[in-house]
Amino acid sequence: MRLYSQLLYCMWAVVLMAVPAAGQQAPATVTAYTTFIRGTPVGREDVTIRSDNSGFTVTSQGRVGPPTNLTIERAEFKYGPDGSPQSFELKASRAGVDASMKTTVTGGNATTEVAPSGSLTKPIAPQAIMHVNGLVGSYIVLADRLGSTAPGGQLRLFVIPETPVDVRIVNVQNDRMQRGNEFVNARRYEIVIANPGTDAAATVTTGTDGSLLSVRIPSQGLDVVRADLAASTSRTQIHSNPGDEPVTIAAVGFNIGATVTRPGKAPADGRFPAVILLGGSAANDRDGYAAGIPVIGQLAGQLADAGILTVRYDKRGYAASGGRAESAGLADYAEDARLVMRWLSERKDVDPRRIALVGYGDGAWVALLAASREKRFAAIVTLAAPSSAGAEFVLEQQQQSLDALNLTPEERDRRVALQKQINTAVQSGKGLADLPPEVRKQADTTWFESLLTFNPTKVLSDVKQPLLIVHGALDRQITVDHADRLAAIAQKQSDSKSIEVVVVKGVNHLLVPAITGEVREYGALPDRTVSKDVATPVANWLTRTFATIK
Q: Quick one: 311 and 282 in the same domain?
A: yes
Q: How far is CA 403 from CA 196, 199, 412, 414, 422, in A?
A: 15, 12, 9, 14, 20
Q: Quick one: 187 and 258 in the same domain?
A: no
CATH of the domain at 475: 3.40.50.1820
- HEC string of 421-455? HHHHHHHHCCCHHHCCHHHHHHHCCHHHHHHHHCC
**Are the C-beta atoms of residues 241 and 297 closer than 8 Å to each other?**
yes
Q: Is the peptide bond before 161 cis (omega within 30 degrees of 0)?
A: yes
Q: Decide which of 412, 429, 447 is a domain's last residue.
A: 447
pLDDT given for residue 135 in this prediction: 85
pLDDT given for residue 15 in this prediction: 28
Q: Quick one: 426 and 319 in the same domain?
A: no
Q: Quick one: 468 and 335 in the same domain?
A: yes
Q: Quick one: 283 and 349 in the same domain?
A: yes
DSSP line for 310-364: EEEEPPTTSTT--S-GGG--HHHHHHHHHHHHHHHHTSTTEEEEEEEEEEETTHH
Distant-in-sequence, close-in-space partners of 331: CB < 8 Å, separation ≥ 6: 369, 450
Q: Quick one: 502 and 359 in the same domain?
A: yes
pLDDT given for residue 1 in this prediction: 28
Q: What is the CA radius of gyration of the chain?
A: 24
Domain, as residue range, for 369: 244-388+454-547
**Are the C-beta atoms of residues 178 and 158 closer than 8 Å to each other?**
no
Question: What is the C-alpha to C-alpha distance for residues 146 and 133, in angstroms, rounded to an integer?
Answer: 19
pLDDT given for residue 240 in this prediction: 83
Q: What is the pLDDT along the chain (550 residues), one digit of tens a residue?
A: 222 222 332 322 222 233 344 444 556 778 899 888 766 788 899 999 998 888 889 999 998 877 667 889 999 999 999 999 999 999 988 777 888 899 999 999 999 998 777 889 999 999 999 988 778 888 888 888 998 888 888 999 999 888 899 999 988 888 776 665 566 788 889 888 887 766 778 889 998 888 999 898 877 778 888 888 876 444 445 678 888 888 999 988 899 999 999 999 989 899 999 999 999 887 788 999 887 789 999 999 999 999 999 999 999 988 788 888 888 999 999 999 999 999 999 999 999 999 999 999 999 999 999 999 999 999 999 999 999 999 999 999 888 888 877 788 898 899 899 999 999 999 998 988 888 887 887 788 899 999 999 999 999 999 999 999 999 999 999 999 999 999 999 999 999 999 999 999 999 999 999 999 998 888 778 898 999 999 999 999 999 999 999 7
Q: Quick one: 217 and 124 in the same domain?
A: yes
pLDDT given for residue 182 in this prediction: 63
317 alpha-carbon distance from chain centroid: 14
Q: How far is CA 51 from CA 16, 57, 272, in A?
A: 11, 6, 60
Q: Quick one: 43 and 180 in the same domain?
A: yes
Count of domains observed in the chain: 3
Q: Quick one: 410 and 261 in the same domain?
A: no
CB neighbours (10 Å) of residue 291?
25
CB neighbours (10 Å) of residue 241?
22
Q: Quick one: 379 and 395 in the same domain?
A: no
Beta strand ranges found along 361-402 (DSSP E): 379-383
Please report whether residue 496 resides in a domain. yes
Question: What is the C-alpha to C-alpha distance for residues 67 and 55, in angstroms, rounded to an integer?
Answer: 36
Q: Quick one: 159 and 268 in the same domain?
A: no
Please report whether residue 37 resides in a domain. yes
Please report whether residue 235 resides in a domain. no
**Are the C-beta atoms of residues 436 and 415 closer than 8 Å to each other?**
no
Q: Quick one: 28 and 135 in the same domain?
A: yes
List alpha helices for 26-134, DSSP H: none
Angle at 7 between CA 105 and CA 91, to 5 degrees: 55
Q: Decide which of 201, 230, 259 is a domain's last residue.
A: 230
CB neighbours (10 Å) of residue 118?
9
pLDDT given for residue 178 in this prediction: 61
pLDDT given for residue 22 in this prediction: 40
Please report whether residue 239 resides in a domain. no
Please report whether residue 237 resides in a domain. no
Question: What is the C-alpha to C-alpha distance for residues 97 and 540, in angstroms, rounded to an integer?
Answer: 63
> Nearest 5°: phi and psi at 228?
-70, -30
